Amino acid sequence: MEIPHLFVAPSLPSLADALRYRQKIGVDPGAFVFGVFGYLRESKRIATVLEAFASVHAENPRTALVIAGQFVSTDLERSVADAEACAAGTVRLPYLSDPDFWLAAGAVDAVINLRYPAAGESSGIAVRMMGIGKPVLMTAGEECSRFPEDACMRIATGAAERESLRQHMVLLTSISGVASAIGARGAGHIAAHHRVKQAAKRYWDLLCESCT
């Protein structure tokens, strides 16, 4: 039995606070902002994200990429340092406290949450971001198979990964309303399946099965 990852709705910043935060980190208030959050491991595919974003930004300068988090490997940090430093439209943020995390989350328009190779566990970042109505671009695989097809954006693995990510990013930035529609469906799914009541019921059912 799978226990759904718990989502507790946070206290989100106001639109005015989110815009002020964008100004603080040097992002155009009218830009479409992608965000990468969490511990930055090899599986987060940061180099691929930077390459795909560079292509998107070259076509549409009113885009930005926020990468927030701590690298867990100095080798990985060094390997992407040059690309990160030269990437126009990219903002690098350190590990964020919980209030700053939600402030940054409120300031982005979509979240990139690639995880390959996957370890089989649910993604807390994906659930939290979907829960607050952000469209999430995630690696296609078993971990996200229970999310409805229209509630997230699945990115191919292997040789097609970079182009798949780029195309989905272009879709979000070029067609008005797509991001908000996917975000709303994602939030609806999380509200229906990842609240305390649903998780508690699964735990109770599991305990009952163990006692029979």
**138-196 residue pLDDT tens:** 999 988 888 999 999 999 999 999 999 999 999 999 999 999 999 999 999 999 987 66
What is the reported pLDDT for 68?
96
Question: Which 8-state DSSP code applies to residue 10?
Answer: -
pLDDT at residue 203 greater than cutoff 50: no
Residue 143's SS3 state is helix
Say if 141 falls within a structural domain. yes
What is the reported pLDDT for 123?
86
Residue 66 near residue 35, CB atoms below 8 Å: yes
Of 92, 140, 133, 91, nearest in space to 111 by CA: 133
Say if 9 falls within a structural domain. no
Say if 200 falls within a structural domain. yes
Boundaries of domain holding 71: 15-211
CATH number of the domain at 147, please.
3.40.50.2000
Say if 3 falls within a structural domain. no
Structure tokens at 36: 């990468």
Q: Please state, in angstroms and rounded to a whole number, the distance separating the CA atoms of residues 21 and 96.
A: 13
How many domains does the chain fold into? 1
Q: How many CB atoms lie within 10 A of CB 132?
A: 18
Q: H-type helices in the chain, by residue range?
A: 15-24, 46-59, 74-86, 98-107, 124-131, 161-174, 178-193, 196-211
